[in-house]
Amino acid sequence: MSPAIAELRAAVDAALDDEQRLTAMIILGDALSRVDPPEALAVAEESLRRAEASGRPELSAACLLLMGTVNWRLADYPLAIEQLEAARASYEHLGLREQVAKVVLLLGNVLRFRGDYTGAIDHYEEAAARFDELGSSHRAELSRGSIGFAYQSIGDGPRALAYLEPMLKWAVEQGDRESEGQAISAIGSVHMLQSDYVRALECYHRSLSIAQERGHRIGYAIDLANIGNVYHEVGDYRLALEHYESALAIHDETGNRDGVAIATGNIGSVHFSLGALDRAEHYYRRTILLWRELGNPASEAIWLGNLGIVLQYLGDIDAALAEYRTAIDLAQEHGMTGTACMSIGNMGNAYRLLGDVTAAQSHYERALAMAEELGDRRLMADWIGNMALLVAAPSAGQPDLERACELSLRALELASEIRDRSHALTLHRQLSELFARRERWKEAYDHTVSGNELERELERLETHKAAQNFEHRRQIAEIEKRTEVELAEARAAETVQRMKSEQTEQELANSTLQLLAMNELLRDLRNDLLKIARKIPPSEPAARELRERLKRLPCESVDWEKYDHQFRSVHPEFVRSLTDRAPDLTPTELRICTMLRMNLKSHEIAALICTTERGVEFHRVNIRQKLKLRKEEKLPIVLGAM
**Does residue 384 register a pLDDT over 90?**
yes
pLDDT band at 640 (very low <50, low <70, confident <90, very high): confident
Percentage of the chain exceeding pLDDT 70 = 85
Per-residue pLDDT tens for 468-493?
A: 666 766 776 776 677 666 666 666 66
Q: Read off the DSSP letter of residue 571.
A: S
Radius of gyration over every alpha carbon of the chain, rounded to an integer in angstroms: 32
Which residue, among 268, 269, 247, has the nearest Cα to 258 in the 3D structure?
247
CA–CA gap between residue 526 and residue 380 (Å, rounded): 89
pLDDT at 350: 95
Nearest in space to 407 (alpha carbons), one of 364, 445, 450, 371? 364
pLDDT at residue number 515: 62
Residue 344 has pLDDT above 70, yes or no: yes
C-alpha dist (Å) from residue 113 to 72, 75, 128, 133, 576: 8, 8, 19, 27, 33
Q: Which residue has the higher pLDDT, 606 or 206?
A: 206
Per-residue model confidence as pLDDT tens digits over 51-70: 888 888 888 898 899 899 88
Q: Where are the domains of the chain?
A: 494-640
Q: Pseudo-torsion of CA 158, 160, 165, 166, nearest 10°?
A: 110
pLDDT for the residue 282: 96
Judge whether residue 359 has pLDDT over 60: yes
Distances (CA, A) of 153 to 20, 302, 592: 40, 17, 45
- With H, G, I as helix, E, B as strand and everything else as coil, classify residue 145: helix
Q: Is the pLDDT of residue 309 over 60?
A: yes
d(CA 615, CA 237): 66
State which amino acid sits at residue 567: F
Q: How many CA atoms lie within 13 A of 151 on its CB side?
A: 20
260 to 36, 109, 287, 293, 340: CA distances (angstroms): 12, 22, 8, 12, 25
Q: Return the sign of the alpha-carbon dihedral for residues 569, 573, 574, 578.
A: positive
The pTM of the full predicted model, rounded to 2 decimals, is 0.63
Residue 12 confidence (pLDDT) = 78
**Closest by Cα among 343, 345, 348 to 326:** 343
In angstroms, the CA 355 to CA 396 distance is 8
Residue type, 26: I
Instruction: Report the C-alpha gap between 586 and 292 in whole angstroms.
Output: 53
Instruction: Tell me the average pLDDT across 540-567.
Output: 65
Give the pLDDT of residue 551.
58
| Average pLDDT score, the chain | 84
> How far is it, in rounded angstroms, from Cα 288 to Cα 308?
12
pLDDT by residue (tens digit) across 393-442? 876 567 889 999 999 999 999 988 878 888 888 999 999 999 999 899 99
Least confident window among 138-142, 169-173, 324-328, 529-533: 529-533
Give ∠ CA 367-373-376 in degrees, rounded to 5: 75
pLDDT for position 101: 94
pLDDT digits (tens, 9 = 90+) for 124-146: 999 999 999 998 888 898 899 99
pLDDT value at position 522?
58
CB atoms within 10 A of CB 527: 10
What mean pLDDT comes out for the span 316-342?
Answer: 91
Do the Cβ atoms of 248 and 264 come closer than 8 Å?
yes
